[in-house]
Amino acid sequence: MGNVLSDRVTKTHRLVASEQELREAIGHELAGQDLGEPVIMGGHFMLFEDDATGRLVPGVIEEQHDETMRRRVAGRVGIFPGYTWRLAADLARPYVESGVGARLLLLINDWQYVPRTGRPASELRAEFFEGFTGLPAGYRDDLAAAGLPEDLVLPSRKHPLAFPETWLKYRFQKAADKFVKQGLLEKRFLGADEPEEGVRDTEVAFVDADGNYRTLISCGVTGCAGEITEMIAEVHRAGHRTILIFAPGECLMPVQTGVEIALSLYGLRGMRVVIADPGGSGEMSEDEIYGNLVSVSTFRS
């Protein structure tokens, strides 16, 4: 199924019921000679606080040695991080072997489960990223098994191994101010016209071709769509025009919105963005993931 989102952006969508179907769908969407060096986003994980150390650790089941932590991570994200990292590495391999090349992108959710009591969240984040000098052990093993070097990981301008979500959120907040002034985004005031005290709450939204408001920033908080918008812009800035994103199912809609807005607002021409959502909500097996069906959407500009 396909539709035109604007005069420059088109979208196609399908559902798949197995990993084989997913691979075939991705192969179809990434066919052609104009790929350049594709970027594959896999292995996305959240940061959780380790109760024993008080430090933030990757929310990847295979990296947890404490049973309580394993249950916490499993119940929240299931096998999604490790599964999509292995899938990303396996999909990248033929591009690397053929000489086309490929890059892996690691997006880290560094805000959702960061404690809001005790030490400042900014301090916890800074401590984690300062010590994050190598990929998780399981991720390194997966690259080695695929015959791929660790330097295949695409650095961000914030960190050599990762794209931190908080950094992307802050970057989009700054960009949004410019877009509001240009009339490309709409800023609305929330609540009473004359608040008793303080500054009125606002939201910044993108109005799509159908007149629907898609909120990007509400009360100063940037949503997932805004950070994805900035991530796509960063990938384009790095010279890449093709990206495959493995996103958690619960994030699919804001990720799709973020991609659409990035291609429209930033005027990113010649981009191909494929999004698939294999799990991410506690699924512990491939049967669970594909039993719910997996969405594959492709945006072209």
Can you tell me the distance from the alpha carbon of 155 to that of 218, in angstroms, rounded to the nearest whole number? 29
pLDDT, tens digit, 9 for 90 and up, residues 12-45 = 999 999 999 999 999 999 987 678 899 999 999 9
Q: How confident is the model at residue 259 (pLDDT cuts 50, 70, 90)?
A: very high
Residue 290, pLDDT > 70, answer: yes
Q: pTM (2 decimals)?
A: 0.92
Q: Are strands 221-222 and 186-189 parallel, antiparallel or unpaired?
A: unpaired
Per-residue pLDDT reduced to its tens digit, 186-213: 888 876 555 555 566 788 888 776 777 8
DSSP 10: E
65 pairs with which residues across the strands?
A: none
Contact 270, 65 (CB under 8 A): no
d(CA 33, CA 91): 17
Query: Residue ranges of the domains in the chain?
Result: 2-300
State percent of the chain over pLDDT 70. 93
pLDDT confidence of residue 52: 86
